[in-house]
Amino acid sequence: LKEKLKDMVGKETKSKDGHKVELVGNIGTPSDIDKVLEKDGEGVGLFRSEFLYMDNDSLPTEDKQFEAYKEVAMKLQDKPLVIRTLDVGGDKEIPYLNLPKEMNPFLGYRAIRVGLDRPEILKTQLRAIYRASHYGNIKIMFPMISSIDELREAKSIAKEVRESLKEDNIPFSDKVEIGIMVEIPAVAVHAKAFAKEVDFFSIGTNDLIQYTLAVDRGNQNISNLYNQYHPAILRLIKMTIDGGHEEGIWVGMCGEVAGDKKLVPILLGMGLDEFSMSAGSILGARYIIRNTSKEEIKSHIDRVLNLSTATDVENYIDENILK
Ligand code: PEP
Ligand code: MG
C-alpha cells in the first residue's frame, strides 16, 4: 500500500474515465503547508485562521496576519489558497475576546456572527488577506453563513476593504474569489440562491452533520449518532453541488467526509469539483479517484440517495462500488 501511495506523487487527479478534480489540503498553521506539498497537494482548500488569534493574548495586528498569509501564499506559488475568516466560538475559545458563556455555544455567537457584530475584527483580517493576495492565488471564505443577508453584509465589508486599500495605494489582486462554507442545512437546502452571490462553495461536513442530525460533534455519549453515511447528509451534499453547478460555480468540500474512503467515489459521482483534506489523506484519495469511473458511479447516485439507513448506504457502497 505504501508503495502504491508513493506512486501517486506527481500523478494527475483524474478519474479512470478522465474527469479532473482538484485535490488540496487543510491547514491550521503556516508550517502545515510543508506536509501538504510533500504529499503533492494541489493547493489549500481550507486555511483555518484561528491559530493567529488563539496563540496570542490580544488581537493579532494586520501586519502579523499579512505576514502569515503571505508566507503560505508564496510557498504555494500559483496554487490556490482558500483562507477562511475567523471561526471563533463553538468549541474554539479565545479568552481575550470575552465572549459570553452560552447554553448552546454551537448555536450561538460564533464565526461570521462575531465578524459582523464586531466588523473592525473582520476588516483587519480582510485587509491582511487582500494585501497577501498580491503574492499568490488567494480566495476568501466566510464560515457559518446561514442567510443571504449575512453574506451580503460580509461581502460589503470586503468591498469597503478593497476601496480603502485602493485609496492607500496598497496593491492587491483583483481576482480574489469570495466563497462560503456550506455547513448549515439551510444553506444546502437553498443552495442555488446562495450560489448566485458567491464564486464558490466549500461543504463543511463536520458542522453540517452536527446541525442536520442535532448531534454535538464533540459529545462522546452520542457519537454513535454522528454518521456521515446518513442518507439525509448525502442528500444535502447533492443539493449543494447541484445548486452550485446550476449557477456555474465550483463546489468543494473541506470537512472530514472529503477524505472518507467510502464516500470519495460517491462525491466524485455527484460532481464535487474540489476535495480538501488533511495532508495524510491526499495520496489515498488520489488513488481512489484514479481508480474510479465517474460516469459509472453517477448511475448509482439515485439509488444510494433512496436507501433508508446509514447502514444500507455503507453496505451498498461496499457491495456495489468498492467491490
Ligand atoms: C467543517 O465544519 O466541516 C469544517 C471544515 O470546519 P471546522 O471543522 O473548522 O468547523
Ligand atoms: Mg465548521
Residue in 151, 237, 254, 272 annotated catalytic: 254
**pLDDT given for residue 323 in this prediction:** 78
**pLDDT given for residue 56 in this prediction:** 85
Task: Tell me, using a 6 A CB cutoff, whether residue 183 lines ligand 1.
Answer: yes
How far is 151 from 102, CA to CA, in rounded Å? Answer: 24
Q: Is 199 marked active-site?
A: no
**Cα dist from 7 to 3, 12, 26, whole Å:** 6, 11, 22
**pLDDT given for residue 194 in this prediction:** 99
How far is 140 from 126, CA to CA, in rounded Å? Answer: 8
ipTM: 0.99
Q: Check: pTM over 0.80? Answer yes or no.
A: yes
Task: Tell me, using a 6 A CB cutoff, whether residue 276 lines ligand 1.
Answer: no
DSSP 8-state secondary structure symbol assigned to residue 60: P
**pLDDT given for residue 1 in this prediction:** 80
How far is 5 from 238, CA to CA, in rounded Å? Answer: 29
Q: What is the pLDDT of residues 101-129, one digit of tens each?
A: 899 999 999 999 999 999 999 999 999 99
Point out the residues of the chain with pLDDT beneath 70: none
Q: Which DSSP string corresponds to 65-79?
A: HHHHHHHHHHHHTTS
Question: Which three three-digit cell numbers place residue 89?
Answer: 466560538
Task: Tell me, using a 6 A CB cutoff, whether residue 204 lines ligand 1.
Answer: yes
Q: Which DSSP string corresponds to 193-221?
A: HHHTT-SEEEE-HHHHHHHHHT--TT-GG
Residue 257 alpha carbon, nearest atom of ligand 1 = 3
Choose the residue to mutate in 254, 256, 267, 276 for probing ligand 1, maximizing ligand atoms within 8 Å of C-beta. Answer: 254
